[in-house]
Chain A
Amino acid sequence: MSEGEIIYLDHAAATPLIPEAATAMTDAYRDAPGNPSSIGRPGRAAARLVRQARERLARVVGVHPERLLFTSGGTESIGLAVLGTMQGRDGGHVITSAIEHPAVLGSVRMLEQRGFEVTRVSPERGGVVDPAKFAAAARPDTVLACLMHVNNELGTVQPLAAALGGVKERAPRCQTLVDAVQSFTRLELESDGWQADLVALSGHKIGGPRGVGALVTGRRRPGPLFGGGDQEWGVRPGTENLPGIVGFAVAADHGERTRPSRMSHASDLADAFLAALAERVPRAQVNGSAEARVPWIVSVSVAGLPSEALLRGMEEHGVCVSAGAACHARSQKQSHVLQAVGLSPRLGTMRVSFGAPNTPDHARRAAEALALTVERYALP
């Protein structure tokens, strides 16, 4: 490895833009200078690109194009789902899990401040929410239930169908939201099977650009969070992020077509990493139950040094990972997810997340870097 070269294992935070998306975006920047809302020919050309991208994404998601709203990313999609669908209500009951992304927890907290009652269902120690427990929280006045597909820190798959289906049985009018940001194009998206009314997606986790995402809606769209023009049926006003939307659709399409090979690749990487880990750092603990984990996210804890030191030690040895989630990396507090699964704050925890550019050698070198970091810096 040449000096300064670093093995990037933080794909759950952001993936590199795939070349196909980059090309499509460059073309869009060059060929479609118009505003999709303008009447002239350049405007119509731009509008056509948005329409094609929407249709392309809709095919991947398996919904009618009119069920897709483009947003600025996962957080906005979730905010629009949570706050937009609850517009006009001044109370009600909301169910969510304690291990949701801060985007969900933050928007739900805003509802709570407006007078909603919130139940945050704790996960089991393996990092999976018990669907019976989740469903049991439902009441006749439950208006919203939010559950993520794949937890971004532990990589655990949540039992959506059982949990949300159970809620719908008790509260048929309840809206259900799935945060599928981490699983999109990797696992099947089955909004009907999940009983999900709303599904949040993001561009930069799937090889697409940053600053773009989408919300899959039911027939009833959420209300707008701010006013403006009639873009996105007036639900999300503002000139469309045309190149972003185009790049997002291309990446989603590409991801969908390459899903099987990418997933077997991710499994190979996880196997290589876990085998090397068992050999080189036998004291390391892999978080999240093995049956529920996806292969591309591995959360590892070791004793003897805090997460920040662990991360810097890994970087010193040429490997970039994050502590829990990138969103917490600078806060130095233990993440709410690790806390919720009962992990000791004294342990150092890192999240390794694999992507298409990685090789089994990268995975083994990550285990090696961890071994060296612990040897060199951990205290008994």
Chain B
Amino acid sequence: MTDPDRARTLFILRYGELFLKGGNRPFFERCLVDGVRRVVLPLDGRVVRLHGRVEVEVPAVREVEASERLGHVFGLTSFSRVTPVAPDLDALTEAAVAEATAALEAWPGQAPRTFKVETRRSDKRFPMKSPDISRHLGTAVGKAIGLPADLRQPDLCVEVEIGSQRTFVTTGRLRGPGGLPVGSAGPVQLLLSGGIDSPVAGYSLLKRGCTLLPTTFESPPYTGQDARDKVIDLCGHLARYAGPMRLRIMRFTEVQLEIQRRCPPRMAVVLYRRMMVRAAQRAARVEGALALATGDSLGQVASQTLENLGCIAEVASLPILRPLVTFDKAETIDLAQRIGTFDISVRPHVDCCSLFVPDHPETHATSKAAHKAEAQLGDPDALAQQLVDTSKVVDIADPYANAPLPRD
């Protein structure tokens, strides 16, 4: 008998797109392994790179937690909890039957009606060919669990893999989050509010391998600590995917009030956004970000017409990434719910983006009109620099940096 305290669970992790990366592949793999290490090492896990795979071993009591965490590592297409076996037909048969029986017992919902065994044999020293192994194991499993085989659309799939380094049997393949490993694409300055969209934009960029430098704007006393906490909590949530981050908080009150006092009300929103982009870009230059990013969606609100997006973007020389540009609001909400930011975003605290919004905002802002209005503000670039100089930085911890108490 194995000591239950010492029992370990083995996961095999698979990644897809990275194969496309040719000469850069080792770099992408390294980023991926770093991401995996980040989430499993605190669980007393071990990570091993194999050819085209990553193996993770954690204490058996950490299995559920490890599964949950691996679901937050971009670059993984799928992963499975596997039972390692000796590369031997009898051992494989025994393991396949045991795995199938156990899977059937633990099956959630309506019981499966069909099954199949699928074999991959990369170690050609094994004396049987894959279809023959599948047939042999299938007969044994079918007899044991009393289900018919269906090779096209089985409810239960027993996977067998015979490799030169590792041979295993598994029944549960879980989907990974896909995308590219975080860190493989470079840093992006994300303009983050407490709303629904910008955290989803952040998620989308993480998914394509970016690291995030989130920047938020607040207007105390019009906005309060609750609004700031909301943004901090959103960052904390994204940190599950990203690891630790630094949130930059800029005090926008005085700029916002100056715009209110001196500029045409119709132009206010475009002018706020231009100032935010200027300030974010200055922070980006300092921190080495290669692009800015926003949660803009085309036509969703008045500031998001093509004309206004253009008028706002002209103050930036870095590219502005807008991952949600073609998203419907419903699609963004769906994704926000799926990744868990929605419940934080809908907390009812006013943030500075919804303050002082005119009843009839300009939808066709021109560069000329914006410049004319900004002339009332003195030097907008100096104001932007002031926002950066007076900004504060809050460290956002990685929620996966520690292990929770194991569940019994």
Contacts and interface: CB of A to CB of B under 8 A. Distances in A.
Interface in A315-329: 315-316
Contact of A377 (B221, B348, B350): B221
Interface of A, secondary structure class, is helix
Contacts of B350: 308, 332
Nearest to A373: B221
A377 B356 CA distance: 13
Interface string B328-365: 00000000000000000000101000001000000000
Given A332-B348, A377-B253, A312 B261 contact: no
A379 B221 contact: no
A161 to B, nearest CB: 43
Given A332-B348, A377-B253, A316 B220 contact: yes
A47 interface: no
Given A332-B348, A377-B253, A308 B261 contact: no
A322 B100 CA distance: 64
Interface string B280-307: 0000000000000000000000000000
A310 B222 CA distance: 8
B260 to A, nearest CB: 6
B144 interface: no
A305 interface: yes
B398 to A, nearest CB: 30
By size class, the interface of chain A is 10 to 19
Contacts of A332: 348, 350
Interface in A232-246: none
A309 B261 contact: no
Interface in A267-325: 305-306, 308-313, 315-316
B261 to A, nearest CB: 7
Contacts of B257: 377, 379
A176 to B, nearest CB: 39
Contacts of A40: none
Given A379-B260, A380-B261, A308 B253 contact: no
Nearest to B253: A377
Interface string A74-95: 0000000000000000000000
A312 B260 contact: no
A377 B221 CA distance: 8
A306 B348 CA distance: 16
Contacts of B261: 379-380
A10 B257 CA distance: 29
B25 to A, nearest CB: 53
Interface string B239-280: 000000000000001000100110000000000000000000
B404 interface: no
B319 interface: no
A312 B221 contact: yes
Interface string A350-377: 0000000000000000000000010001
Given A379-B260, A380-B261, A312 B348 contact: no
A332 B356 CA distance: 16
Which of A316, A332, A379 counts the most B-chain CB atoms under 10 A from its CB? Answer: A379
B146 interface: no
B253 A312 contact: no
Contacts of A312: 220-222, 224
A377 B253 CA distance: 8
Contacts of A308: 221-222, 224, 350
A377 B258 CA distance: 10
Contacts of B356: 379
A310 B224 CA distance: 11
Residue with the highest number of chain A CB atoms closer than 10 Å, among B221, B222, B261: B221
Contact of A316 (B221, B260, B348): B221
A305 B220 CA distance: 12
B271 to A, nearest CB: 15
Nearest to B260: A379
B260 A309 contact: no
Contacts of B222: 305-306, 308-309, 312, 377
Given A316-B221, A377-B257, A379-B257, 15 more contacts: A305-B221, A306-B222, A308-B224, A309-B222, A312-B220, A312-B222, A312-B224, A313-B221, A332-B348, A332-B350, A377-B221, A377-B253, A379-B261, A379-B356, A380-B261
11 contacts: A305-B221, A305-B222, A308-B222, A308-B224, A308-B350, A312-B224, A316-B220, A316-B221, A332-B348, A377-B222, A379-B356
Q: Which 10 A-B pairs have the closest CB atoms?
A: A312-B221, A313-B221, A309-B222, A309-B221, A312-B224, A379-B260, A316-B221, A312-B220, A377-B221, A308-B224
